[in-house]
Amino acid sequence: MITGEQALAAGLGRGALAHRVKVGGMQRLHTGVYLIGPAPPTPMGKARAAAFAVGDDAVVSHRSAASLFGLLPDNGGDIDITVVGRNPGQRPGVMRHRVKALPRQDVTTIRGLNVTSIARTICDLAATESARDTELAFQEALYRDKTIDRAVAAALAREPCRRGARTIRALIKDPKLTRSEKERRLLRLIKQAQLPIPLTNVPLHGYTADMYWPSHGLVVEFDGWGAHGHRLAFESNRKRDQIMVANGIRVLRVTDRHLQDEPVAVVARIAQALR
């Protein structure tokens, strides 16, 4: 991705730039923003192009940020961009969001691109997306980091009257979405079945195992809703499982739906694995 100013600074004249676009060597994505090569832009490329088009203070946010983090699938829509104070003007393919302030702790970077933090992104989703999508993103974030609810609460506290605040508060208070509740629920089932009690949240071969039976070489992991829904999480889980297997440890994965709809079957599978 390159801007017109960058192309000129690199010695590419306006005529040469126009010629490359005409013959397909470059693509014009926005006014003064180009993609080198004929391949279609990736979601990251589209987000970067939109940020270039809006200006240096542009921050990718809302649904677009959630997609880049892998919290929600890319819906192919306009790129959400947040700016502070000024009106960036209308641009095709860009959804503008103006805010009075954007605290430093609410902004992070992905490969050099300014993006709202995961906590801020979830709060923004509550204002523009369905309650279901907001819940799914929150669940996926909890799956990766069980302390994310504290960060979301802190982000909400900085702007308590924001749109969607009620949805966020309901998610934070709902214990069914927390990883610790899943652990407690499954531990209760394990105790009721009179199975050996596992260790929980154990550092193991570079990861943290949700439940671990050392003498049986068995690990149980809780899967988030999107564990198989996007490439980053899918590949991360496969690598994690391979490392465990290479060290002689078997892995069982349990989803929210398994735990809620078929708890007896979950315990039966654990019992079989322990046997």
Looking at the fold, whether 118 and 223 belong to one and the same domain comes out as: no
Domains contained in the chain, number = 2
| Beta carbons within 8 Å of 167's beta carbon, 6+ residues apart | 126, 131, 134
Q: How confident is the model at residue 177 (pLDDT cuts 50, 70, 90)?
A: very low
Looking at the fold, whether 157 and 85 belong to one and the same domain comes out as: yes
pLDDT tens sequence across 142-163 = 777 767 889 999 999 999 999 9
Please, what's the b/e burial string for 133-144 (b: 16 or more CB within 10 A of its CB; e: otherwise)?
Answer: bbbbbbbbbbbb
224 within domain boundaries: yes
Per cent of the chain over pLDDT 90 is 52
Looking at the fold, whether 46 and 82 belong to one and the same domain comes out as: yes
25 within domain boundaries: no
32 within domain boundaries: no
157 within domain boundaries: yes
Looking at the fold, whether 159 and 135 belong to one and the same domain comes out as: yes
Which of 144, 175, 206 is where one domain is finished? Answer: 175
Which of 142, 175, 208 is where one domain is finished? Answer: 175
Q: Give residue 76's domain range.
A: 41-175
115 within domain boundaries: yes
- Round to whole Å and give the CA distance between 127 and 134: 9
Which of 175, 205, 240 is where one domain is finished? Answer: 175
Higher pLDDT, residue 13 or 216: 216
Cβ(3)–Cβ(53) below 8 Å: no
pLDDT tens sequence across 161-170 = 999 999 999 8
Looking at the fold, whether 51 and 151 belong to one and the same domain comes out as: yes
Looking at the fold, whether 75 and 54 belong to one and the same domain comes out as: yes
Cβ(155)–Cβ(197) below 8 Å: no
Of 30-44, 53-67, 179-193, the one with minimum mean pLDDT is: 179-193
Looking at the fold, whether 142 and 86 belong to one and the same domain comes out as: yes
Higher pLDDT, residue 12 or 62: 62
pLDDT of 228 strictly over 70: no
User: What pLDDT was estimated at residue 227?
Assistant: 43
Looking at the fold, whether 111 and 219 belong to one and the same domain comes out as: no
pLDDT of 175 strictly over 50: no
Q: What average pLDDT does the segment 29-55 reach?
A: 91
Looking at the fold, whether 270 and 216 belong to one and the same domain comes out as: yes
